[in-house]
Chain A
């Protein structure tokens, strides 16, 4: 039984808050749920499937209580920032299988107003067994991605200028997004002049820290016809993980290399069919490594691929028209915004940053620490 094309995203809402010391994380979940359900033209009483992450081991139950939901199907898959992309695949499967009919996915975080240093202060604890062999040495999250960047430069001659081009492009997009946190243009020289956080990554190679929230509503393609907005179909998806591989990890073999081709095959589409991508841009290297791994260019060609305006609006493959995590918002787990922006673009709602006649999109979330262990989730979305 194929699930692809049978389920649609019918509601999408990105909370406009970027700094919200007057709000709680649960409030951002609730306000985002309200926005997405209104977008879909559905009520909270219609929700019978609930998906969330970033809320603690039994946080889904607590949050269901906060929203007073009594769902028939729940999923708190927690694989880092990509979790919410994963939830869309799982929701499509659950709806196609009849486990629920209206799935609500929510996210909320007050990382910025909590002054949480996500990339350089939160990754050093010991929890799982592999941590005993890593945390004593002080890997930061930035550092973990930097290990991949350094290796990429060594193997392929990729330069800091090429990585900076990604940050500059995201900022150019953010200037067209009134909700983006940082909208002032930057140059390659600005990126290179910003301080090194963990070599070879500069401050402006790193995503920003913001508050934020978002929500999605999915239902069957059949029921979607009665919703308020044009449905966006879930056409394909796949997940993968990478880890230390008993001491043999190739740092440049990222999870997208597995999930990307599988998702495209499941959707029955080719790279050339895609009108744009939303790609988790925790760091500039994340975008470059993901584009290569997804197969948009050969390994080692990512540095050249991201130049010349190719990934900018108006280029052959626009990436993150909203400005991404590098400029628009990054409350810690950004995956949900990849799907929200893809849905808004496919509906043609994006005003000055609209990709003309966007019909088919790829969203790819990365979660965890790229150089140690991470998840990759690829989702293919298209207009009905």
Chain B
């Protein structure tokens, strides 16, 4: 676990709309929302369905598997916490369930990342109550 006093990157803050997502990550589980009214899945989590405006929601646990939809190897970022970790791979991953999310790809050389590459979630505990969903090259299913 990272030492929070030395963690200098922005930390997400859970609120009433997103609590389920962040609490799931803290248990090392990736969850997303689906509307009980019309069945539309959505990311990031929010209280009201954007399709039918229903407030009825269910949480679905994601497989944690997906593919790289796009990425960039970041070579310059002056922001504290990031500048010490250059180069790093910022990416958008498409989950097998069809939802796209921003993340970083870890666990391989930045130069090895390709669009379409299979990846799986890698939980990163960045604070006592805060976990981020990063992704690494997928192992055998």
Indicate whether A177 reaches chain B with its CB closer than 8 angstroms. Answer: no
Contacts of B85 in A (CB 8 A): 138
Report B's interface with A, CB cutoff 8 A: 9-13, 15, 17-18, 32, 40-44, 46, 50, 69-79, 81-82, 85, 88, 90-92, 98-104, 115-116, 126, 132, 134
**In the complex, what distance in Å separates the CA atom of A247 from the CA atom of B96?**
12
Whether B10 lies near A126 (C-beta < 8 A) is: yes
Q: Which of A135, A198, A372 contacts B72 (CB 8 A)?
A: A198
Interface-central residue, A138, A151, A201, by most chain B CB under 10 Å: A138
Whether A136 lies near B50 (C-beta < 8 A) is: no
Q: Which of B73, B102, B132 contacts A196 (CB 8 A)?
A: B73
Q: Which of A129, A142, A244 contacts B100 (CB 8 A)?
A: A244
Q: Which of B90, B99, B115 contacts A139 (CB 8 A)?
A: B90
Whether B82 lies near A124 (C-beta < 8 A) is: yes
Closest residue on chain B to residue A120 by CB atoms: B76
* Total residues of chain A contacting the partner, CB 8 A: 42
Contacts of A219-267 to chain B: CB distance below 8 A = 244, 246-249, 251
Contacts of B73 in A (CB 8 A): 196, 198-199
Against B, the Cβ 8 Å flags (1 = close, 0 = not) of A142-157 are 1100111111001000
Contacts of B11 in A (CB 8 A): 126, 136
Q: Which of B13, B70, B132 contacts A137 (CB 8 A)?
A: B132
Indicate whether A66 reaches chain B with its CB closer than 8 angstroms. Answer: no
Contacts of A248 in B (CB 8 A): 98-100
**In the complex, what distance in Å separates the CA atom of A335 from the CA atom of B110?**
35
Contacts of A125 in B (CB 8 A): 10
Whole-angstrom distance between the Cβ of A88 and the nearest chain B Cβ: 30
Contacts of A199 in B (CB 8 A): 72-73, 75
Contacts of A93-152 to chain B: CB distance below 8 A = 117, 120-121, 124-126, 129-140, 142-143, 146-151
Contacts of B77 in A (CB 8 A): 120-121, 124, 138, 140, 143
Contacts of B76 in A (CB 8 A): 120, 140, 142, 197-198
